[in-house]
Structure formats: structure tokens, C-alpha cells
Amino acid sequence: MKKLSIILGKTVQKVTCLRGNGGSALPGLVVERTNRNFVREVLGKLPHGVVVVSGTNGKTTTTKMITELFESQGLKVFTNKTGSNFVRGVISAILKDIKISGKFDYDIAVLELDEAHAVKFSEVAPIDYALLLNVMRDQLDRFGEIDHTAAYLQKVAAAAKKTVILNREDPRVSKIEAKNTAFFGLSDSLIKEFPSDDDLLTHDKKKASKKTALVTLEKLDSKATFAIDGKKYTTPLKVKGVYNAYNAAGALAIVKTVLPKSKTDDIIKALANIESAFGRGEVLKIGETEVELLLVKNPSAFQLSLTSFVDKNHDYMIAINDEIADGRDVSWLWNVDFTSLKTVKVTSGTRATDMTLRLKYDEVKTDATIEDLKQALEKFVNTGKNPKRIFATYTAMLELRKIISGKSLV
Amino acid sequence: MKLKILHLYPKEMNLYGDHGNVLTLVKRCEWRGIKTEVIAHEPGDPIPDDIDIIFGGGGQDSNQNAIEDDLRAIGPQLKTMVDAGTPTLVVCGLYQLFGEYFQTAEGEKIKGISILDLHTVAGPNRLIGNVVVSTPEYGEIVGYENHSGLTELGEGVSPFGTVIKGYGNNGKDMIEGAKYKNCIGTYLHGPVLPKNPRLADFLITKAIERQTKSRPKLERLNDTVENRAHKVATTRPQ
């Protein structure tokens, strides 16, 4: 049955690729329909099992970190790099790599899954470990309320056969129950930089929880200091921003849990060289100008991005689209405090004017409001020599990236 | 001159950026040299008597449960203020709770505080999307709705407006929101005030009028950005 599924899936993959549509979901659909145990049969045999990374913010970069950390330890890691973070996408990714003989040459799987898809995944495949990052308001118009999201993560945790690593400082995540749990956390001094969804407006001073954490992020300036098993490790990081440093603590916790005998010094060394994932602080060049792209998809991510990436040396542009993938509702912009910005050079996207309006009520000046992203970008790169940063919603980011890569080819 | 704005449950009932409504009131006063004080009311806090504007937003179900007891306790006081003409804006969750009752999907009736003559019944689907409403007093209003409760108005209130795009109170009678004296209840997030400055200025005007006992002439502000954002919102898909 498995062999048949592989042949069938691979055939569909070939055919859809020939038709030139990338074919990411269809082969998965065909196999899903014909053999419900396919994923379980393949992933269930991995010697180190399956790690699932879920939560609202930071999944992509964290999954990348965990994958590269395992690779630094000599493991062959299967991961869903293409961003097909749903069951069919995972099946398609398996089909690409699996031999007709059924040989699937990996030691461990590290999969990034949306909260709802993680639940579906847990119904068709084994989960050994889970890393649950946070629960934030994200496109509420699509997924409903955040308590629902927390309930999804609880289901994922309950399905995990070994250990679930939880963000100690997220009120909804830290109370999730599982067979075995461990935490990653923050020191008291850093915790105020991490608003949970409830704190976004109240700005209450929080204290770190008293639960013992396996890994904590202790300090962050030009270098990051982590405490692991009571010992401190200080390292520079290529990933930028406080939230990425914090997610690195989660990644370290997973790696130390799966490979308890690994040498922490080596892992920290490997961590130092890991770079951000697409759209998460990626730096692109337009002529001589450096443009850094920062994905903002919900108030908490936007707030943390502003905390990490606003300084006097950069010029800023904000691109807000309200396509389905961004969320049609733009009211979340009013849950972000923009007062750390002095001026925004350009606002853009389908809801550029909403952004300009939002900034007006925080008394932040907007020099130009240009809905068209291409025109906005041209205007922005001609505003002076300062390096540039663009905060953009998902579809705006994709479009900007296309425009920029198109330019560099010329 | 100073206006006191009562913000009901800013921690628990602040879904969808409703806090932006308070910020809009504050800034539009400040830009005209009118001082404001925002009183954040959380469960257990006393309510001052000299409130000029009342605002309350929406919350998710678990948060709504946390404020219900307090809301019932302060309900009579709020009713006295609204009955006396205090300008009030309640959105979504608190709009429903300002009514007679909310009937859950299981048939349980959660009592409201009976300021607005209306009731709400849980519906099978969420009504979600951009909304455009025509109102007799404030012109065209834009916003974004996201609710599963279906609201029916009684005799004691008038509609806030007529739905041009979107669902409104229940997706059937084309009515959006409710109005009683100077109290407006609506499902519109967005938040509603920034892109509908006329509505914001109505609340401010009424507040000053009640304090000074004479109809003020509000200084005109440059609303180019507000009006443009309003216009863009009307053109977006539902």
C-alpha cells in the first residue's frame, strides 16, 4: 500500500510539475485520499522522531534554527522549507524525497505547522516533540478568537509522545498540559520587551514566571546570553531582533531535549551562524541602497519589530495590504504603539491611507502615501542615503520582494 | 474645559483595536485645545459621577465573562448617565450587553444591563467583513464587523443606520446598530471613529454642550487623511 502511494504520488507530482504549476498540494491530496496512514508509516520510522513547531509568531525562523542546529550535530533533517505548512504540503515534501523502495533517508523531522494544521497533522502522524511559541491575535477574521488557538495548541501538546517545550512567559502557552513539559523563558530584565497579547495596551510590568526553565534568554545587547542547565553562554547572533533571540532559546531547548548528550558549546557556536528566514530581517540591495524587509502580520509582531528595529540611522516605509492572506481587517494597526517612530517616509499598500491615519493619531509624520508598491518603493529609495527598513504585511512583502529582485536583474 | 472619558474595561474588552476610538476622541480634543482625562474602568473600580463621554468595546468570550458581574453592578449608574444624555459609544460585545439579553447557542439567556431596548441571539455563522452604513445624522459610516450574535431592535431605540454593504445587526433587516438619546451602539470595528470623524465630533460636541449648556462650534480640523481612508474603505471587498 505504501509503495503504491509513493508511486502514485510521485507520478502526480511529475505530471503537475510538467504542467508548470509547481504542484505542491495535488500529489499530497492524491496520497492523502488513497492512503491515510502514509505519513504515519514514513515519519513513524525516523530514529529521532518528529518535532512540530507551532504558535502564531516566529515559526519559520525557529524551524530554520532547529533544523540547522540538528544538522550541526550530524543529523539528517527532513523539514518543510517551502512553507507548505499543512498536511498535504508535508506529504508532497515527503514524496519528493522518498525513494520508490520506501527508503526515507532522514534521522528526524522538524515541521512548521499552523495551529489548526498542527492539530490535523497530529491526527494522521506521530508527534514526538512539540515547541509551542506563543498565541497572539493573528488575522482574527479568519481564525476566530485566540482562546480557540490556544485550544488547538493544547490538542497538539496532548498528542506529543515525548516532551513539549512551552514558552513560559506566554500566559496561554505556559498553562498547556502534556505528558512531559519543559519551558524556555526570559530573565526579569528582558520580560518587559515582550508584550503578550494581553499586555499590548496595558503596558503592565510583568515578572518572569517562577517555573524552572530549561533555557532562558538572560541578556541581549550586541550579544545574547543564554542560561542552559544553570550555566551561562554568551554569543553573537546573526538573526536580529529580541524575538528571534528569544525563539533561539526555544530552539536550544528542543535540541537539548532531543539530544541531551550533545555539547552545548558546539550548539551555541552553530546558533551564532544561523541567518534569518525569508522576510524576517532579510537585507536586499537596490543599487547601492540596503533595504531590510520585515514581515508584520499582527500587533504583537509589529510591536516587537518596532522595539527591535527602530533607530535614528534608518529610513522607514510601511506597506499594509488587506488581501485575504493579510487579513481583510486592518483594525489591528490600532493595537500597535507607533510613537517610537519620528517620521515614516512612505506608507504603501492597499491600506496605505489607513496606515497614514494611524500614524497621524500617534503624531508620527508621514511624508508620502502611495498605494502602488512599485511607485512607493521608487520614492522611498530616493529619499536619501540612509539604509532603509520596510515593515510589510505578507502579500505586500511578497510583492515588494518580486519588485526588488526584478530590479536587481536589470 | 476638560472632558472626562470613561473607557469601560480597556484590558478585557479591546478586541480589534477598539482603543483607537478613545485615542481618536483624545486627539481630536487635544488638537482643538480641549483637555481630556481618560478613566480606565476595570472590574471593581468606582465610577465618577462627572463623566462626559462613555466608551466600551468588544472582547472575546472568556474576557466577556470576566466583566459581566462588574457590568451588572455599575449598570444602573451607567443607565442614569445615558438616560441623562451622556454621549456614549458601545461597540460589539458591550453593544450587546447594553441590551436586554444575549441568548447563547445553548439557549442560556445572559442578562444585559437594559440601557438599550434590544436583544441578541447567537447565530450559526460569524458575520465578518467590511461594512458601509448610511446614517441620517452622521452621513456614510465605514467599519469592519465580526460577530456571530444576531441583534434585533425593540421600540425604545432607533437604528444607527441602514446597511449599504455588509450584514449589520442580523444580516436580515439591513439595520446596523442602535441609537438611544446620545448613546450609539454598533457592531463596527475598524476602529469606527478614526475613519468617521463626524461621528467622533458628534460625541465631543454633545459632551461640551452638556457641560457648557450651549451648543459649541467645534474648530474644523484638517480631515484629508481621515476622509481618504474612509473612501478607500468603501472600495475594498466585503
Q: State the SS3 of B167-201.
A: CCCCCCCCEEEEEECCEEEECCECCCCCCCHHHHH
The pLDDT of residue A54 is above 90 = yes
Query: How do residues B107-150 score in pLDDT, each as one tens digit?
Result: 889 999 999 999 999 999 889 999 999 999 999 999 999 999 99
Q: Give the residue from chain A lying closest to B196, CA to CA.
A: A357
Instruction: Provide the percentage of residues in chain A whose pLDDT is more than 90.
Output: 49
Question: Which of the following is catalytic: B92, B119, B183, B230?
Answer: B92
The pLDDT of residue A17 is above 50 = no
Q: Which residues from B are below 8 Å from A when comparing CB atoms?
A: 10-11, 14-20, 23-24, 27, 60-62, 126, 128-130, 144, 146, 189-191, 194-195, 225-226, 228-229, 232-233, 236-237
Task: Indicate the angle between helix axes A242-258 and A264-272, nearest 10 degrees.
Answer: 140
**Residue A21, pLDDT score:** 41
Residues of B within 8 A of A350 (CB-CB) are 232, 236
The residue to which cell 522549507 is assigned: A81
**Residue A23, pLDDT score:** 42
Q: Give the residue from chain B lying closest to A334, CA to CA.
A: B17
For chain A, which domains are there?
A: 2-272 (3.40.1190.10), 280-409 (3.90.190.20)
- Which of the pair, A80 or B235, is modelled with greater confidence? B235
How many angstroms separate the CA atoms of B211 and A110, rounded? 64
**Residue A309, pLDDT score:** 82
Written as nine digits, the cell of A280 is 524576517
Q: Give the residue from chain B lying closest to A359, CA to CA.
A: B225
Cβ distance of B194 and A328 shorter than 8 Å: no
Beta strands A160-167 and B158-165 are unpaired
**Residue A26, pLDDT score:** 63
Instruction: Provide the percentage of residues in chain A whose pLDDT is more than 70.
Output: 84
The pLDDT of residue A365 is above 60 = yes
Q: Is A386 exposed, middle or buried (0-12, 13-18, 19+ CB in 10 A)?
A: middle
Burial A65-92 (b: 16+ CB within 10 A, else e): bbbbbbbbbebebbbbeeebbbbbbbbb
- Read off the pLDDT of each residue in A47-68 and give the average, rounded to a whole number: 92
By three-state DSSP, how is residue A96 classified?
helix
How many angstroms separate the CA atoms of A264 and A251, rounded? 12
CA distances from A370 to A48, A317, A356, B109, B124 (A): 51, 11, 10, 49, 40
Span of A84-93, A290-299, A347-356, A379-388 with lowest mean pLDDT: A84-93
Q: How many CB atoms are located within 10 Å of the residue B138 CB?
A: 18
A201 contacts chain B (CB < 8 A): yes
The pLDDT of residue B193 is above 70 = yes
φ and ψ at residue B160, rounded to 5 degrees? -70, -40
A338 contacts chain B (CB < 8 A): no
Span of A16-20, B11-15, B167-171 with lowest mean pLDDT: A16-20
Span of A139-148, A289-298, B191-200, B210-219 with lowest mean pLDDT: A139-148
CA distances from B147 to B16, B150, B184 (A): 12, 8, 17
- DSSP sequence for A128-165: EEEEE-------HHHH--HHHHHHHHHHHHHHEEEEEE
How many angstroms separate the CA atoms of A232 and B138, rounded? 61
Closest CB to B144: pick one of A137, A331, A358: A331
Please tell me the distance in Å from B27's CA to the nearest CA on chain A. Answer: 7
| Ramachandran area for residue B16 (φ above 0: left; ψ -120 to 50: alpha; else beta) | left
The pLDDT of residue B72 is above 90 = yes
Residues of A within 8 A of B25 (CB-CB) are none
ipTM of the complex: 0.96
φ and ψ at residue B9, rounded to 5 degrees? 50, 55
**Residue A275, pLDDT score:** 84
- C-alpha A135: how far from its chain's center? 12
Task: Look over chain A and give the mean of its residue pLDDT values, rounded to a whole number.
Answer: 85
How many angstroms separate the CA atoms of A27 and A357, rounded? 45
Query: How do residues B202-234 score in pLDDT, each as one tens digit?
Result: 999 999 999 999 999 999 999 999 999 999 999
Task: Indicate if B29 belongs to the active site.
Answer: no
Peptide bond into B191 cis (omega under 30): yes
Cβ distance of A333 and B27 shorter than 8 Å: no
Enumerate the H helices of chain B as residue ranges.
19-30, 61-83, 93-97, 197-212, 224-235
**Residue A41, pLDDT score:** 87
The pLDDT of residue B12 is above 50 = yes
Q: Give the residue from chain A lying closest to B228, CA to CA.
A: A353
Question: Which of the following is catalytic: B19, B41, B119, B189?
Answer: B189
- Read off the pLDDT of each residue in A379-397 and give the average, rounded to a whole number: 92
Task: Give the closest residue to B158 by CA, choosing from B178, B137, B187, B136.
Answer: B178
Closest CB to B17: pick one of A145, A333, A369: A333
- DSSP sequence for A286-321: ETTEEEEEEE--SHHHHHHHHHHH--TT-EEEEE--
By three-state DSSP, how is residue A45 classified?
coil
Do B110 and B151 meet the contact criterion of CB atoms below 8 Å apart?
Answer: no
pTM of the model: 0.76
- Read off the pLDDT of each residue in A358-373 and give the average, rounded to a whole number: 97
**Residue A199, pLDDT score:** 58
Binning chain B into helix, strand and coil, the percentages to the nearest 5 are: 30, 35, 35
Cross-strand pairs, B91: B186
For chain B, which domains are there?
A: 2-235 (3.40.50.880)
Do B154 and B119 meet the contact criterion of CB atoms below 8 Å apart?
Answer: yes
The pLDDT of residue A206 is above 70 = no
Beta strands B53-56 and B88-91 are parallel
Please tell me the distance in Å from B44's CA to the nearest CA on chain A. Answer: 17
Beta strands B109-111 and B101-103 are antiparallel
Do A109 and A54 meet the contact criterion of CB atoms below 8 Å apart?
Answer: no
**Residue B71, pLDDT score:** 95
A354 contacts chain B (CB < 8 A): yes
Query: How do residues A213-240 score in pLDDT, each as one tens digit?
Result: 999 999 988 899 999 988 999 999 988 7
The pLDDT of residue A19 is above 50 = no
- Which of the pair, B195 or A13, is modelled with greater confidence? B195
Written as nine digits, the cell of B128 is 465578518
* Band of pLDDT at residue A18, cut at 50, 70 and 90: very low
Closest CB to B16: pick one of A322, A329, A363: A329
